[in-house]
Amino acid sequence: MNNLYRTIDFLPHGDARGQLVAVEEEKDIPFSIKRVYYMYDTTEGVRRGFHAHKHLEQVLICVHGSCKIHLDNGRETAEVVLDTPNRGLYLASNIWREMYDFSPDAVLMVLASELYDEADYIRDYDAYIKYLKTMEEI
């Protein structure tokens, strides 16, 4: 058990034709899905993210290829490898995240609990630590 993330393994419906994974809100995904986005054609060596969310919950699924996620909650950090299309990475709110080491063929899909709202982002690490202190999380 850790305070940074949890992984969710989805059941692949495999047969002679190949694999199929279905995810349902409030069942496989622990929230109602309001938005889906995905990133691909990521420039080699690039690092993305560098922010936390005040309220947003998300599940990240690398549906093709691989990438790594750096996580930080102000007290501890973790590096998570996403390289399995039937595994999701659940991130609650208030977790700093950076995505890196994308393979050239990586497609990182994200299921989100809210519509896009720039006001929900904390894009400065020092501001994030101050925000956690106001929340008395560290």
Q: Which residues bind ligand T46 (CB under 6 A)?
A: 35, 37, 39, 48-49, 58, 60, 97, 99, 110, 116
Active site residue 51: yes
Which residue, 87 or 97, has its beta carbon nearer to ligand T46? 97
Residue among 13, 51, 53, 64 flagged as catalytic: 51
Centre a 10 Å sphere on the Cβ of residue 7 and count the other Cβ atoms it contains.
13
The least CB distance from residue 24 to ligand T46, in Å, is 21
Which residue, 99 or 107, has its beta carbon nearer to ligand T46? 99
Backbone angles phi, psi at 114, to 5 degrees: -140, 160
Q: Please list, in sequence order, all residues whose beta carbon lies within 8 angstroms of the beta carbon of residue 9, skipping any fewer than 6 positions away.
A: 86, 87, 88
Residues forming a β-bridge with 62: 108
Backbone angles phi, psi at 86, to 5 degrees: -105, 25
The least CB distance from residue 15 to ligand T46, in Å, is 32
Which residues are catalytically annotated?
A: 51
